[in-house]
Amino acid sequence: MSIALARRYRPRRFSELLVQDHVAAALRGAVSKGRVGHGYLLTGPRGVGKTTAARILAMALNCDAPTDGEPCGSCGSCSRIWTGQASLDVVEIDAASNRGVDDARDLRERAMYAASQEGHHKVYIVDEAHMLTREAWNALLKILEEPPPGVVFVFATTEPQKIANTAAPVMSRLQRFDFRRIGPAAIKDRLRQVLGEEGVEADEDALLLIARHADGGMRDALSVLDQCLSFGEGPLTPDRVRDVLGLVDDEAFAAILDLVTNRRPGDVFGVVDQLADAGADLVEVAGGLAELLRAVLMTHYGTTAPVLSESARELVARSAKALAPEDVVRMLKLLGEAENPLRRSANPRLVLETLLLRWAMMDRAAELKALLSGGAPGPAGSPAPSTPPPPATIPEQHGGPQGPAYSVPWTAAGVRAAWPEIVETAIRQSRFLGQALEHGVPRPAAPGVLELAFGPDEAVSLEGVERQKAAVEAIVSARLGVTVSLTLARSDDRGGAEAATSAAPSGRLTVEALRADRLDHLRRRDPALDALVDALDLELIDDA
């Protein structure tokens, strides 16, 4: 009887687990030293070996002739466990269909019985463990705290955060192992080994397409390989893989990038029509474009590109000459914004067309950095002047001892214009700190002194900023180029609070409002720029 490749080439020993050496070494060592825990939680993406590792552990604990913690893989006990046949000592449970409290109580009662043979272990493998209800976890909690001797529970899940939310106390009773996603190169090598044993020839690019489509899962890769081998006879070719998976060839990607680099938005509709007529998966098309653009960006910065076919490498080299790195970053950002709508939309074709049109029309955007540096507006990626004008300084009548010159941004409008970047920098260090700063209203009180006011309902935010005051001062000083001292105040106990809060409704400055205020301030400061933006219908992009 024919057996699927994913089952036939399933590992039987810890040493055969692909890319999971950290898990294999720990479990093998625990078995060989007699230090096996009573409960394990195996987490990671689908198809990377979680349930397989659980079976190997069960085999090793009940093997008739184990060697250094490894099961022999051929004795009667190992064979029954590996093939999933009935075993008195190893029970596999699918939590998706056995998730209730009654199922958990039944499992708890069965675990009280000893193993069928002296020296064996009772092993319970619970797959899709995140599907268990809160009540089911509560029923298992006591036996996980005080398990009978010789009983081992192994829970496998792709979503450990759900277990943490549903049954947090359980997490501390289990030893957790996180399985890694398997890279395309490792998957391709394994597919080559499997085809060698099957006596089938295959093109390297065909194996690469399968490896990239598998998205880190070896089981998925073997299942796709099985499907492709059933689809036709003879050597496995890239065209056969594309037909099976609904992928487009590199020529289609080349046509898309060509219309973008040559600014031909009118050609977008014809290209998407061809993709739709060919039955291409538009989500897969977007994913392929993301991989190519990432490779183009890596090429710009001298980094080795990911595993690509020969034709894809040539396409990346051509595109790197035509697209500036700034363009590529913006294209990737737009693609990221379109990813979820593309997956969920009832009309993904419209989403893809809109994305490609925005790519092809990017030369109508002007960079804020270049404008601030005194350069003329132009296409994204245009170089800014090498020597920006020196900042204007505030006269000495502001008072205080001689110190650093405070530039034009050291005004209420200037600080508000810089505040979005300050908030984003803080978010990268601490999300809580960044969110707290969003609730404050900044106002220069004196040269080098910044007052940050919080409304009467923002006590938590004020306390959070106060605890990390030194970090905020460092961020603000780095952004404004001067040493800044921070003072905190409540908007209801200082003079002039109303004037400070008028810049943002309800005493709160959002990042979006501050960005809009910053761009508006820039246009008002430069009448020539304001007229140019209106005349050419330019779009100002705040990338600061």
How high is the pLDDT of residue 493?
A: 44
Could you tell me the domains of the chain? 5-178 (3.40.50.300), 184-245 (1.10.8.60), 250-360 (1.20.272.10), 406-528 (3.30.300)
State both tokens at 382: 């245009």
Express each pLDDT in 189-219 by its tens digit: 999 999 999 999 999 989 999 998 898 999 9
Please indicate whether residue 367 or residue 518 has the higher confidence score (pLDDT). Answer: 518
The per-residue pLDDT of the chain, averaged, comes to 82
Kindly state the average pLDDT of the residues 147-171.
92
State both tokens at 524: 């008002």
Coil vs helix vs strand at 179: coil
Q: How far apart are CA 536 and CA 364, in angstroms?
A: 8
Q: How far apart are CA 454 and CA 441, in angstroms?
A: 7
Left (φ > 0), alpha (ψ -120 to 50) or beta: where does 121 sit? beta
- Residue closest to 331 by CA, chosen among 356, 308, 349, 351: 356
Q: Where are the alpha helices (DSSP H) in 100-183?
A: 101-110, 134-145, 160-166, 168-171
Q: Is the CB of residue 209 less than 8 Å from the CB of residue 242?
A: yes
Kindly state the average pLDDT of the residues 378-387.
42
Express each pLDDT in 17-55 by its tens digit: 999 999 999 999 999 999 999 999 999 999 999 999 999
Q: Is the CB of residue 136 less than 8 Å from the CB of residue 106?
A: no
Concatenating the DSSP letter of every residue in 196-220 gives HHHT--B-HHHHHHHHHHTTT-HHH
Query: Does 368 score more than 80 pLDDT?
Result: no
Cα 390–chain centre separation: 41
Kindly state the average pLDDT of the residues 419-425.
88
Query: Does 146 score more than 90 pLDDT?
Result: no
Strands (E), 82-228: 90-94, 122-127, 151-157, 175-178
Q: How far apart are CA 46 and CA 55, in angstroms?
A: 16
Q: Where are the alpha helices (DSSP H) in 367-480?
A: 368-372, 412-429, 431-438, 459-467, 469-480
Beta-carbon contacts of residue 68 (< 8 Å; ≥ 6 apart): 28, 32
How high is the pLDDT of residue 392?
A: 36
Backbone angles phi, psi at 142, to 5 degrees: -65, -45
Q: How far apart are CA 189 and CA 205, in angstroms?
A: 12
Question: Which amino acid is it at 311?
Answer: S
How high is the pLDDT of residue 51?
A: 93
Q: Is the CB of residue 183 less than 8 Å from the CB of residue 216?
A: yes
Query: Does 366 score more than 50 pLDDT?
Result: no
Q: Is the CB of residue 300 less than 8 Å from the CB of residue 332?
A: no
Question: Which amino acid is it at 404?
Answer: P
Percent residues over pLDDT 70 in the chain: 81
Backbone angles phi, psi at 329, to 5 degrees: -60, -45
How high is the pLDDT of residue 13?
A: 93
How high is the pLDDT of residue 542?
A: 57
How high is the pLDDT of residue 337?
A: 92
How high is the pLDDT of residue 382?
A: 43
Please indicate whether residue 390 or residue 449 has the higher confidence score (pLDDT). Answer: 449
Kindly state the average pLDDT of the residues 505-514.
51
Express each pLDDT in 97-123 by its tens digit: 888 888 888 888 888 887 888 888 999
Greatest mean pLDDT range, 232-246, 424-438, 491-505 = 232-246
pLDDT band, residue 227 (cuts 50/70/90): very high
Which of the 8 DSSP states describes residue 362? G
